[in-house]
Amino acid sequence: MRHLHLKEEEMFFDKKAEGVLERYESFLIDDPYYFLAGSSGAFEYSMKLAGDICGKRVLDYGCGSGWLSVHLAKMGANVCGFDISSKMLEVGVKRAQVNGVLEKLNFQKMKAEELSYPDDFFDAVLGVSVLHHIDIDKSARELTRTMKKGARSIFIEPLGENRLLNYVRSRGIQGRTKNEHPLKYADIERLKAYFSKVEYTEFQLFGMFERFIGSGLARFLKLDSLDRWLLSRFPGLKKLCRLVVISVEK
């Protein structure tokens, strides 16, 4: 089991939240794709897997500044969101207010490894870019406890099997935390010990360039369709992808 630097993680994201608080104009959530750094295909697929969430109790797992919580609340879900960073949660509350969905949201400071929700509580769970920050075994045990029987959790995570991409990530200018490690297939396999069903689909082979060329040009070049075609014909390319959508069922 990895040793996690939870305090550093909290401080890193508290600091990051200050920047978000200064940019008040980005609080309105009209277009969730704005927050996805070019992972629109993975997001559309995740929302399709989640199905109709209206009226359901849904968890935004490691919600950060709450853009997904707000989006889910706007779709009619009753949303809980937790995060280790209280400053990120403050941003989430502001977002919820600005978007008029505060009454449908419940944000709490919590560690993924120690959830304080009751057993069998959630109908569905969604998480973006979180599993690769946390202790997978401890968190999976807690997650399965809080999910209703038959409920599904869906995560969009960075895949860490492409060495060149990992090198580029390690040189990233946005900064990284010590806990962060793009997921390996072996990490995903570990989830099988805690859930009745574990499935995953890779995204963004050429699509990974969407974040540099913009979603308009990526759509024009049909990068998502090109990727789907290539990945279905040449499955060996899947491990080179930037993202993976993981779906687990209790």
Ligand X SMILES: C[S@@+](CC[C@H](N)C(=O)[O-])C[C@H]1O[C@@H](n2cnc3c(N)ncnc32)[C@H](O)[C@@H]1O
Residue closer to ligand X, measured from CB, 231 or 243: 243
Tell me the chain's radius of gyration from C-alpha atoms.
17
- Report the residue number whose CB is nearest to ligand X: 64
Residue closer to ligand X, measured from CB, 37 or 230: 37
Residue closer to ligand X, measured from CB, 112 or 159: 112
Looking at 115-172, which runs of residues are DSSP E strands?
Answer: 122-128, 147-158
Angstrom distances, CA of residue 85 to CA of 6, 122, 221: 10, 22, 38
Closest approach, Cβ 55 to ligand X, in A, equals 23
Closest approach, Cβ 13 to ligand X, in A, equals 3
Residue closer to ligand X, measured from CB, 85 or 144: 85
Closest approach, Cβ 226 to ligand X, in A, equals 26
Contact 59, 145 (CB under 8 A): no
Q: Please, what sign has the CA dihedral across residues 151, 157, 161, 162?
A: positive
- Other Cβ atoms closer than 10 A to 120: 12
**SS3 of 53, please?**
coil
Q: How many residues does the chain have?
A: 250
Q: Looking up tokens 């008040």, which residue turns up?
A: 24
Residue closer to ligand X, measured from CB, 62 or 182: 62
Residue ranges in contact with ligand X by CB under 6 A: 6, 9, 13, 62-65, 68, 83-85, 88, 111-113, 128-130, 133-134
Closest approach, Cβ 76 to ligand X, in A, equals 20
Closest approach, Cβ 153 to ligand X, in A, equals 13
Whole-angstrom distance, CA of residue 2 vs CA of residue 150 = 29
